[in-house]
Amino acid sequence: MVGQGRWRRIADLLQEAAAGADVASAVAEVVAELIGVDDVSLMLVAAGQPVTSSGTSALAVRLAERQIALGEGPSVEALGTGASVALVDLRSVDALDRAPVFISEARAEGVGAMFAFPLRIGGALVGVLTGTRAAAGPMSADQHADALIISTLATIALLREGTGTSSARWAQVLDQASILDGAVQTAAGMVAEQLDVTILEALVRMRAHAFAVDEPIEDVARSLIARERRLER
Amino acid sequence: MSGIAGNGTTGGAGVQGTLLELARMATRHSDPVDVFMLLSERVVDLLPVAAGAVLIVDAGGRLHVVGASESSTGLLEVLRTLDGDGPGRQCVTTGALVIGDMRSDGERWPALAGLLAREGFDVVHVFPLLSRSMGVGALSLLGARPLDDGEREIAQALADLAALALLRSDAEEDALVVARRLHRTLQARATLGQAVGMITERFDLDPDRALRRIRRTATAADMPMVTLAAAIVARTLSERLALALAREER
């Protein structure tokens, strides 16, 4: 289908990279190639706080961990606001203002630009994906679009991985990309309220249930909204 | 929910009032989710159509519904079929109005024709939401007959004003900024959906009533729906807002 081209192409790239790798590694590898950055880090969160970082290089991991330790930086900012952060030139006043200590350190490490993309589905925040580059300058429109798609696919795949119910079959993840819409999100809100858990936990539980009863998550969502079924604690 | 076709009052105070309100929202930089939901609900009162929806594209070019005149499963299924090989895809690709009259064009989009027949619609109009002549979304209208020239002008004017909510007031804005804003609008819509679910459960409502309650509370507090939704989801509601949400409709 015409409108699916970019989604399909990226899902295929992730599948090629996946072979036995976990979601984080596959994503980091493909991102580095596609969006023209030198290094990629993936920070995952629990209860809104970053807890793990992985990356394509020691530098990437170091930059992520420094941001966590300092509580500032584009990745931390993206986690806080839920919006992507593009620091196209670390020498700019704007970059320095936003995170004075971290940016000075990053510049000393030879970083010229950083781009952070939150991994989220509405109010459910899974982590942040960050690309760094020695050369300053913005991303192209294509690279930016690819980054947004990878972010969505990665979020869904990490959710699935979190339930321990599947290996990274990216074609399946692609099919799930419509969970951003309508009924699944409303059902997740209901489950979060019923079980007194976060939206993220609710989505994980719905996913686990859908897998257990072998139904598409959209059908589970519809029957939850119609109160035909209810997830137990 | 009014599903009666041909009941719109075209021209006059209704259209003018809505155009003014949309223009005001655009200049005040109202949140796109608020604008799109308003438009998709109002359009069935302003034009002789039975259902309407606003869709926007994601970074990969897929269309997503962000506002619809009703939340029935049947309508949503029809709207999903506009993407793929449907008239919605064609509208976004060409940046031009696409009209599908199933009485004569049924074979062009067979899957869509079947669904439209089932829901009782004969004609679909898909008006483009444009950013620098590129399609970034669509205003989709479903009804019993093709719109006349005057009605089409009104619909496109509504779509143009709605598109301004995405572009702020500068249609020449950088494509990257627009792409970011589209993505954030989709995320905002997901957050709103999550909040609707929580309120549905909390006060034993159905999703439509929960949505209306969120909107009523947000409007009274002069904030975009998504800001209130984010607080609901994060469980950071102020006591004042929590009380306001708990109040039943008159």
Closest Cα partner for A78 from A134, A28, A131, A6? A131
Q: Tell me whether residues A82 and B65 touch, CB distance under 8 A.
A: no
Q: For B200, which residue in chain A has the nearest alpha carbon?
A: A190
Q: Percent of chain A scored above 90 by pLDDT?
A: 50
Q: Check residue B23 and give its pLDDT.
A: 81
User: CB of A167 within 8 A of CB of A138?
Assistant: no
Q: Tell me whether residues B60 and A225 touch, CB distance under 8 A.
A: no
User: CB of B102 within 8 A of CB of B117?
Assistant: yes
**E-strand spans in chain A?**
39-46, 49-55, 85-87, 113-121, 124-133
Backbone angles phi, psi at A66, to 5 degrees: -65, -40
Note whether A53 contacts B: Cβ–Cβ < 8 A: no
3-state secondary structure of B78: helix
Of A92-101, B11-20, B91-100, least confident by mean pLDDT is B11-20
Q: For B83, which residue in chain A has the nearest alpha carbon?
A: A3
Q: Tell me whether residues A149 and B60 touch, CB distance under 8 A.
A: yes
Q: For B206, which residue in chain A has the nearest alpha carbon?
A: A225
pLDDT (tens digit per residue) in B161-207: 888 887 764 555 577 888 888 999 999 999 999 999 999 999 999 99
Closest Cα partner for B100 from B119, B76, B75, B127? B127
Q: Tell me whether residues A189 and B58 touch, CB distance under 8 A.
A: no
Which value does ipTM take for this structure?
0.86
Q: How far is CA A172 from CA A27, A106, A201, B55, in A?
A: 15, 38, 21, 24
Note whether A137 contacts B: Cβ–Cβ < 8 A: no
Q: How far is CA A170 from CA A11, A14, A159, A199, in A?
A: 5, 7, 13, 23
A138: amino acid identity, one letter: P
pLDDT band at residue A18 using 50, 70 and 90 as cut-offs: low
**Distance between CA atoms of residues B32 and B248, nearest Å:** 27
- Could you tell me how far CA A37 lies from the centroid of its own chain? 17
Interface test with A, best of B57, B126, B178, B183 (most A CBs within 10 A): B183
What residues of chain A lie within 8 A of the CB of B187, using their CB?
A: 82, 120-122, 180
Of A92-106, B12-26, B148-162, B204-218, least confident by mean pLDDT is B12-26
3-state secondary structure of B20: helix
User: CB of B207 within 8 A of CB of B196?
Assistant: yes
What residues of chain B lie within 8 A of the CB of A1, using their CB?
A: 83-85, 89
pLDDT (tens digit per residue) in B196-229: 999 999 999 999 999 999 999 999 999 999 999 9
Backbone angles phi, psi at B143, to 5 degrees: -160, -165
Query: Given a cut of 60, is residue A42 above it in pLDDT?
Result: yes
Backbone angles phi, psi at B123, to 5 degrees: -130, 140
**DSSP secondary structure code for residue A111 in this structure:** -
Average pLDDT across chain A, whole number:
86
B99: amino acid identity, one letter: I
Interface test with B, best of A181, A223, A225, A231 (most B CBs within 10 A): A181
Query: Given a cut of 80, is residue A95 above it in pLDDT?
Result: yes
Closest Cα partner for B211 from B9, B77, B37? B37
Of B60, B64, B194, the CB nearest to A6: B60
pLDDT (tens digit per residue) in B72-82: 888 988 998 89
Of A84, A120, A121, the CB nearest to B180: A84
Query: Given a cut of 90, is residue A85 above it in pLDDT?
Result: yes
- In sequence order, what DSSP letters do the residues of A163-199 get, joined into one string? TT-----HHHHHHGGGGGSHHHHHHHHHHHHHHT--H
pTM over 0.95: no
3-state secondary structure of A40: strand
What residues of chain B lie within 8 A of the CB of A222, using their CB?
A: 73
Where is B118: in which H helix or E strand? helix B110-119
Q: In the structure encoding, which two tokens stand for residue B177, read together?
A: 């900024």
Interface of B with A in 170-199 (CB under 8 A): 175-176, 179-180, 183-184, 186-199
Q: Check residue B6 and give its pLDDT.
A: 37
Q: Check residue B170 and give its pLDDT.
A: 53
**Secondary structure of B119-169 as H, E, C letters:** HCCCEEEEEEEEECCEEEEEEEEEECCCCCHHHHHHHHHHHHHHHHHHHCC
Q: Check residue B236 and give its pLDDT.
A: 94
Q: Check residue B17 and give its pLDDT.
A: 86
Q: Tell me whether residues A222 and B83 touch, CB distance under 8 A.
A: no
Segment A102-115 shows an average pLDDT of: 96
**DSSP secondary structure code for residue A103 in this structure:** H
From A185's Cα to the closest Cα of chain B, the distance in A is 5
User: CB of A59 within 8 A of CB of A81?
Assistant: no
Average pLDDT across chain B, whole number:
88
